[in-house]
Amino acid sequence: DQQVKQNSPSLSVQEGRISILNCDYTNSMFDYFLWYKKYPAEGPTFLISISSIKDKNEDGRFTVFLNKSAKHLSLHIVPSQPGDSAVYFCASMEVNSGGSNYKLTFGKGTLLTVNP
Amino acid sequence: DTGVSQDPRHKITKRGQNVTFRCDPISEHNRLYWYRQTLGQGPEFLTYFQNEAQLEKSRLLSDRFSAERPKGSFSTLEIQRTEQGDSAMYLCASSHTRVWGGTTNEKLFFGSGTQLSVL
């Protein structure tokens, strides 16, 4: 069962426009959410995160929005740049019985292409 | 130390051979994770260490797989009697701890991975 779903395998946007990447999750125990960016033949690189106590977190050109009732989060990149072209993974963290989060569950990723 | 280091970057082996991968985490991180990623999928959790203790293993980790972190620093992942289905990128990550409202949330830092091809 896919607990974290990224339903768009790919997205193409024009340089300077907004990129919106979406992610849905099913596990109500998830309470911390992260976005990772991955280039080919490299490991994922942390981009931005959000705790379930917030509905928005912003870092420069990147903003993550969380809608807990809909179990949905999105990553907005504005303005998009060609160097943003990569695979973006949504990941969620589950609280374990000790109150410490440690295991990430990833979606399948969305390939973003930003055209000059 | 600028990040998580994994060695080798690539490994090609014949079916039935044993392989071992090494991971050096960020020096002050006490948690170390192994993930596996196949084509078209996101990384999947394999196992996790806190210091030298292996605290959880995924059901994906068959008895042919063994991971160690003998001194709480570097870790090794060994696959015995490799099969073609083991072909994947094996990712190591390490983390520090941040506290949100009484629970800890962790940001994982990943290495570049070891790409395994079993022929």
Which residue is closest to A38 within chain B, CA to CA?
B112
Q: Do A44 and B115 touch (CB under 8 A)?
A: no
Kindly determine whether residue B43 and residue A44, on different chains, have CB atoms separated by under 8 Å. Answer: yes
Task: Give contacts of B33 with chain A, Cβ < 8 Å.
Answer: 102-103
Contacts of B102 in chain A (CB under 8 A): 99
CA distance A90 to A108: 8
DSSP B58: -
C-alpha span between B67 and B21 (Å, rounded): 9
pLDDT > 60? residue B43:
yes
Q: Which residues of A9-37 are buried (b: 16+ CB within 10 A; e: fewer)?
A: eebebeeeeebbbbbbbeeeebbbbbbbb
A52-72 b/e (C-beta count within 10 Å ≥ 16 → b): beeeeeeeeebbbbbeeeebe
Specify the pairing of strand A10-14 against strand A4-5.
unpaired
pLDDT given at position A88: 98
Residue from B100, B105, B107, B109 whose CB has the most chain A CBs within 10 Å, to mutate: B105
pLDDT recorded at residue B60: 83
Residue B28 pLDDT: 83
Query: How far apart are alpha carbons A85 and A83 in whole angstroms?
Result: 5
pLDDT tens per residue, range A25-53? 998 888 889 999 999 888 999 999 998 88
How do residues B50-107 score in pLDDT, each as one tens digit?
888 888 888 888 899 999 998 888 999 999 999 999 999 999 999 876 555 555 567 8
Rounded Cα gap, residues A95 and A51, in angstroms:
12
Antiparallel, parallel or unpaired: β B88-95 and B114-118 = antiparallel
For chain A, how many residues are written?
A: 116
Q: Tokens 């079993």 map to which residue?
A: B118
The neighbouring-strand residues paired with A64 are A57, A75
| Closest chain A C-alpha to B91 CA, distance in angstroms | 7
Q: Tell me what percent of the residues of chain A surpass a pLDDT of 90.
A: 78
A75 vs B: CB within 8 A? no
Residue to mutate among A34, A47, A103, with most B CBs inside 10 A, is: A103
